[in-house]
Chain A
Amino acid sequence: MKIFQISSLVTVITGLLCGASMNVLADETCMSPYMAKIVGQEDFVYVWTLGKEGLGDEQDKMVTIDVNPHSPSYGKVINTLSVGGRNEAHHSGFTDDRRYLWAGGLDSNKIFIFDVHTDPAKPTLYQTIDNFVKASDGVVGPHTFYALAGKMMITGLSNNVDHGGRTAMVEYSNSGDYIATHWHPTDQDLRGAEKSGDYADGYGYDIRALPRRNAMFTSSFTGWSNYMMDFGTMLSDPEAMKRFGSTVVKWNLHTKNPEKVFDVPGAPLELRCAWQPNHNYCFTTTALTSQIWLIYEDQAGEWQAKAVADIGDPAKIPLPVDISITSDDNGLWVQTFMDGKTRYFDVSDPFNPTQVYEKTIGSQLNMISQSWDGKRAYFTSSLLRNWDKKGADDQQFFKSYTWDGNKLNLEFEIDFKAEKLGSAHQMRFGAYGLYGMPRPFEQNISAVIDTSTDSSGLANR
């Protein structure tokens, strides 16, 4: 394996590149297997940030942070790009060629497409899709942006009829053209899927795929009427609390037809699938019941869902939010919003996750992004505009840690309030090497290109 090496730093990008595959890799363990990955040192973290009243320009913005320790601007915000107004900025995802970063607004339903390849240090707004609801025939709340080959699959959270949780996935071309809407199966219309338990609620949230098994999975959260409601008000509203998802759906990845609906009660959120070629399983966690669930293919080739561990004390409702699986499939980071903790589970036996470490990151905590080698982990604070804590507990931060295998060590942090940026939400990694560019602060460039397509299930995922 030849290595793409720039000066003393080794940046390795692998992915679905061919010819002379450039080698750089980024959150790297949670992204689409269709995409090139940064396996070495990432240069940037792009933070999709909610505008906050009374802070700076009050607009949603893409914030670029320099995270390369060898850069003169390491640890600094090096660029901000406001998109105009507040949209309930939430998640983002790269196209499969990693040239563009799509970012959604859960309230405005706008999708902002950033060019991140022309100058990775200074993303520009390339295109805005503002007819998502109309084009999709009523899908509301563009959430996850998941790269397919030449296409983007976008999960919705809601609909424009009752603003509840009934929703669909919406498929776009990389050039921003609407392709199709794939509604989630319900009791009224299972669309050919098998209902394996009590629920077929039609809710949506996250998406991940195992191409090797021609399998795609979606989880289920709640609709616009809940995610835009004040958190305290919602908790005290029994009817609102009934409007949470209880399902994971397995889809045929190629045909986009739903095949099986699993009961996973308690609002299963992020989905993370194993990377190793023979690991036919994915994890999710339930927000309301605080459990880790395993979605797995049994020895008979049937897909099943099973609760395999508790997270903290479920009775205290710690509210697990983002999770991140390590590239070797042995570890799972689990964030809990209410207590601001990150927990590391040993999942080398996926049926018996065991917590081996925990640390309080802040007063509230949502997202994590870890490097492919697992040595660096970044954390942000915001969940939803109306769900974030109030007053002094509404800390808004980006924190960079190194992980030595036993504990997290803080490297630097950025106070998004002090910097008048807003509420820090989802992170994605960037690197010069993805686009064949040398790092500007390095001399004596010696580049060796990796032509191998190795491990990581590249060919099998």
Chain B
Amino acid sequence: MRSSKARILFNAVLVALVFAQGVLAEPSKPEVVLAPGWGKLSFEAPVAGTYDLPKIRPAAGGAILDAAGKSLDLDDLLGAKITVLSFIYRTCDDINGCPLSTMVLHRLAGKVKEQPRLTDNLRLLTLSFDPEFDTPEVMNKFGESIKGSSANKDGAADWHFLTSKSEQAIQPILDAYQQSVIPDMQTQADGRKKYSHILRVYLIDRKKQIRNIYNVSFLHPDILINDVLTLLNEEQVGQKPNRKAVSL
């Protein structure tokens, strides 16, 4: 399951984490079963354009900060491109948690160079739910290190690293996306918070509709990229309705 390529990418993420924070709390243990996203997909990813991605619900906005500390609304970053949105906290040390989603977005960013069709059509958003520690400056450093950590440079990707002013500011966004985040009773050794949350990554179309939600079982670059291409195909051929009833 753990391919050398995945390992290289994971190491890149870890290096970036260390570089950005100077901290990496207790690396994941080697016996942990890696999520499918770290390796080669164990089945053939469905071919792009051969299936529908029904609308799930509207994607919400909310007050956030970009990596320069500028206030903006999440909604302002949606719509211009097909968007992949990931909620993380930077010091998350579960290999199948936030590092997985960051690695998958990293590989998506790499695809932008491989597939010119994506250059003007794909935006990646990494939004922290730990604003106390993940300040704009820290997120900026984190983003730069992630983008520059791989031999496969992906500086061309439209990838934003975001945070918010406070827990009060991020909570309505988390609620709108139904991203459950529970602070743990224990903190890390350096006093930083730990959180329990279900890994969620959202695919959002240009009409600001959520079209897919990925968790650890299905968060894989091959699946995600084909879903993005499926939405691009759909834009070219026209909007497909949700699958309707078959007459009895």
Contact = CB atoms under 8 A, between A and B. Distances in A.
Contacts of B55: 179
A15, A277, A451 pick with most chain B CB within 10 angstroms: A451
A453 interface: yes
Given A99-B180, A177-B57, A254-B218, A149 B94 contact: no
Contacts of A256: 51, 243
Interface residues of A, number: 64
A71 B10 CA distance: 45
A432 interface: no
A171 B244 CA distance: 12
Contacts of A159: 248
Nearest to A253: B218
Contacts of A138: 245, 248
B107 interface: no
Interface string A413-457: 000000000000000000000011000000001011101111101
A458 B51 CA distance: 26
A21 interface: yes
A21 B200 contact: no
A281 interface: no
Interface residues of B, number: 55
Nearest to A455: B33
Nearest to A456: B33
Contact of A453 (B26, B96, B194, B213): B96
B97 interface: yes
A337 interface: no
A34 B214 CA distance: 10
B142 to A, nearest CB: 16
A173 interface: yes
Contacts, number: 179
B35 to A, nearest CB: 4
B46 to A, nearest CB: 5
A162 B248 contact: yes
A97 interface: yes
Nearest to B25: A451
B239 interface: no
A330 interface: no
A260 interface: no
Interface string B21-63: 0000010110011111000001101100011101111000000
A442 B217 CA distance: 35
A257 B185 CA distance: 43
B237 interface: no
Given A212-B36, A459-B96, A460-B33, A18 B51 contact: no
B175 to A, nearest CB: 10
B92 interface: yes
A211 interface: yes
Contacts of B180: 97, 99
Given A18-B216, A137-B244, A447-B185, 11 more contacts: A1-B29, A16-B198, A16-B215, A18-B197, A99-B180, A173-B57, A183-B245, A183-B246, A211-B217, A453-B32, A453-B97
10 contacts: A17-B97, A18-B92, A18-B198, A20-B186, A34-B217, A96-B215, A162-B248, A436-B196, A453-B95, A453-B97
